Amino acid sequence: MPSDLLIDRLVDGLRPTRRPATLRQGAVLLALAGVELAGFLSLGTLRPDIATAAGLSVFWWKMGGLASLALAATTVALRSFDPLSSPRSELRRWMAVLAGVFVLGWVLDAGSQPGLGLGARLMWQMGIECLTVMTILSTPLVLALLLMMRRGAPTDLGASATAAGAAAATAGAFIFAFHCPSDDPFYIVFWYTLGCGAITMLSRALLPRLARW
């Protein structure tokens, strides 16, 4: 098609537009996570000993760490949908926060005396359940971030998809943590890393194909 004709068509198709606002998108994601949390807890999934757990530093490490990681990754992802933004340096900083959370968990674990072998502490059956529910809870958030990614113009699709996957995975894990009865740092680091890592890698593989522009 000649360029003149193409330009004629583009001009004919011109409609007033509105810029996507990062804050508005963040609010939408927050509302979606809130609805998910309310729906999840309405199924009677809230851990019965949450009042006791709230007195443990490990509980707050788990909840605070996941909330921080989810908020930070969501910010990185939403900012990366701007064509001028490069998310790689921000992703590296996010990885540093993740490493800090791991180190804090290791310190907390070293201070406790669980008295069980590492294999027994993993509790495979419960761990598999963790992975499954975490993945289900992350899915709506991955889809919402995909829609926002398609609406934006990310120029580093791989890094944006990684950030989106990490955001959805950690947010899903945060919601699941209201149910998870384990306060063992080793169990949490192992299974949550496995679950979040799988969701992030899946997003990294799929989202660039679906959000290509």
Partner 1 sequence: MRMCNQARRPHEWMGVSPTPRPHPPRPAAEIVRLHTTPADGTEDEWGALMAAAHAGHAAAYRRLLDDLRKWLGRFYARRLPPSMVEDAVQDTLVAIHEKRHTYDPQRPFKPWLMAVARYKWIDRLRAMGRHGTEALPDDIAVDDHESSVTSQVVLQHLMAELKPAQAEAIRLVKIEGYSVAEASARTGQSDSLIKVNIHRGLARLAAIVQSRPDAE
Positions that interact with partner 1 (CB under 8 A)? 1, 3, 6-7, 10-11, 13-20, 81-84, 152-153, 155-156, 212-213
For the bound state, the minimum distance from the C-beta of residue 26 to partner 1, rounded and expressed in Å, comes to: 17
Task: Of 106, 103, 83, 79, give the one whose Cα is nearest residue 91.
Answer: 79
Which of 13/48 has CB closer to partner 1? Answer: 13
Output 6 or 120, the one with its CB closest to partner 1: 6
Separation between Cα atoms, residue 52 and residue 82, nearest integer Å = 44
Kindly state the smallest distance separating residue 158's Cβ from partner 1, in Å.
Answer: 9
Please state the closest distance from residue 24 (CB atom) to partner 1, in A.
Answer: 13
Q: How many angstroms separate the Cα of 124 from the Cα of each of 21, 58, 100, 138, 194?
A: 43, 20, 26, 21, 12
Q: CB-wise, 22 or 182, nearer to partner 1?
A: 22
- As measured in angstroms, the least distance from the Cβ of 167 to partner 1 is 19
Q: At 98, which helix (H) or strand (E)? A: helix 88-110
Burial of residue 189 (CB within 10 Å: 0-12, 13-18, 19+) is middle
**Sign, Cα dihedral of 206, 88, 29, 81:** negative
Nearer to partner 1, 14 or 51 (CB): 14
